Amino acid sequence: MSDDLHVDELNALAYQLCEFAGVLPAAPSSTLDDAIAMAARVTDLMLAREPEHDGLEPLATHRAVLTAFLQAQVDAHKARAAAHADVVRSLTDGIRRMRKAESLQRLGRQARVSLCETMGFDQALLSFVEADGFVVEESERGIGGPTVVPRRHCTSERECIHTQETVEATDAAVSSESGYRELLGTGNYLVAPILAKSRVVALLHVTKPRGRAIAIGEADVLDAFAAAYSLLYEKILNAERLQRQHASIAQAAERLAEQADRIAFAAINFDFDEQAGDEIPMLPIDSALTATLSDREHDVFERLVLGASNADIAETLVITIETVKTHVKRILRKIGAVNRAEAIALYLDEAKPSTRHRGGQR
């Protein structure tokens, strides 16, 4: 039986019992939680009633209705418990899906999908908190250009940031000028904070399908979801920062290595400049050092021993720097050198005898 049928049954039986007791009927409930609370009040009223009151029949004569009413309450409680179990499973599944995200962008996208497809909300928005307003990452209803909602008319959002707790916004309280009313198509929504280092950095907005109110407990569920999102957000943010630091350090180390290689080459080359005034000696055609190199690797090697940087080699040979790096690694491996300086030393060692031999013939 659906929640609506449980609510209708409790409303109908409560009305009958109130009529039997000669009291004003209880106001009809619209949600299962409200119906359960109403039924408890009516039951207490019936049990406290005098056996004879103003000539009305004893309640025992309506035992069948009372029994049905009590059974309906039991069934409603079971339905609510089952619904709560489903919510917990949905929440767990949604968090598990978010944990698979490897970037902040994917985390935000997966959060919106989980809130709608897994947890039963109709719409979900992620907004980042900036000094001049709220920047909405994605929305089905754009307000022209990058969607930025000014803080001015966002009372619920400001309260959420101040209290750092999930806030329920109502249609009556949300300003008609609020950008979120336009984006969500309603003023009835929940807004939850996303925290990083104890500061609200983003907001999650959710709505229920049109015609359905926010149920009791859904704010707590969204609050738990937002807390999990906050932990994952900080984890990914720290990982991305660490990755950028490593990349920066690696680039700096590479630049230092190239500079060290050029300095080492200059030191090795001093002997030739000072003693003979010759250019870097050429290897013989049948050189064992370069025998295993491809034509392109040979071109790269010739410029490497002249002290050219990866960028210079890439520009000269019209290839990318990454391609140059790959060639250099292969060259070093093939000639058995640890780095550029050792490669230059090996080159010069093999080239010297050839130079002396040619010099003796001149």
Cβ neighbours of residue 200 closer than 8 Å, sequence gap 6 or more = 129, 160, 161, 164, 193, 194
Q: What percent of the chain has pLDDT over 90?
A: 14
Q: Which spans in 122-217 are helix H?
A: 155-163, 179-184
Q: Are 36 and 43 in contact (CB under 8 A)?
A: no
**pLDDT bucket at 263, cuts 50 / 70 / 90:** low
pLDDT of residue 18 exceeding 60, the answer is yes
pLDDT of residue 38 exceeding 70, the answer is yes
Instruction: Specify the DSSP class assigned to residue 282.
Output: P
Q: pLDDT tens digit string along 270-313?
A: 444 444 444 555 666 667 788 888 888 888 998 888 888 888 89
Encoding tokens for residue 6? 């449980």
Q: What is the pLDDT of residue 85?
A: 66
**pLDDT bucket at 177, cuts 50 / 70 / 90:** confident
Decide which of 83 and 337 is more confident: 337
φ and ψ at 214, to 5 degrees?
A: -70, 125
Place of tokens 């925290």: 195
pLDDT of residue 182 exceeding 50, the answer is yes
How far is Cα 234 from Cα 24, in angstroms, rounded to an integer? 55
pTM score: 0.54
Q: What percent of the chain has pLDDT over 70?
A: 78
* Beta bridge partners of residue 149, listed in sequence order: 134
How far is Cα 54 from Cα 266, in angstroms, rounded to an integer? 116
State how far the alpha carbon of 15 is from the alpha carbons of 3, 20, 22, 23, 212, in Å.
18, 9, 11, 10, 24
Place of tokens 């490897």: 102
Mean pLDDT of the chain: 79
Q: What is the pLDDT of residue 163?
A: 93
φ and ψ at 216, to 5 degrees?
A: -60, 130
The answer to which of 153-162, 329-338, 345-354 has the lowest mean pLDDT is: 345-354
pLDDT of residue 51 exceeding 70, the answer is no
Q: pLDDT tens digit string along 203-253?
A: 999 998 766 767 767 888 888 899 999 999 999 888 888 888 887 787 777
Q: Which of these, 166, 164, 200, 205, lies nearest to 187 by C-alpha position?
A: 205
Q: Which of these, 264, 253, 193, lies nearest to 227 by C-alpha position?
A: 193
Q: Is 270 exposed, middle or buried (0-12, 13-18, 19+ CB in 10 A)?
A: exposed
Q: What is the pLDDT of residue 49?
A: 63
We find that the CATH architecture of domain 104-239 is 2-Layer Sandwich (3.30)
CA within 13 Å, CB half, 106 = 9
How far is Cα 217 from Cα 48, in angstroms, rounded to an integer? 31
Domains 104-239 and 278-361 share a fold: no
Give Cα 92 to chain centroid, integer Å.
16
Place of tokens 């949905």: 90
Q: What is the pLDDT of residue 203?
A: 94
CA within 13 Å, CB half, 271 = 8
Angle between helices 321-335 and 310-317 (to 10 degrees): 110
| CATH 1.10.10.10 matches 278-361 | yes
> Domain ranges in the chain?
3-85, 104-239, 278-361
Q: Is the dihedral of CA 253, 256, 258, 263 positive or negative?
A: negative
Q: Are 312 and 303 in contact (CB under 8 A)?
A: yes
**pLDDT bucket at 361, cuts 50 / 70 / 90:** very low
Q: Are 142 and 167 in contact (CB under 8 A)?
A: no
Q: What is the pLDDT of residue 138?
A: 63
Decide which of 86 and 125 is more confident: 125
How far is Cα 47 from Cα 130, in angstroms, rounded to an integer? 58
**Pairing label, strands 199-207, 167-169:** unpaired
Place of tokens 């009958």: 16
Decide which of 84 and 326 is more confident: 326
Type and span of the H or E element at 177 = none
Strands of 133-136's sheet in order across:
148-149, 133-136, 123-130, 199-207, 189-196, 167-169
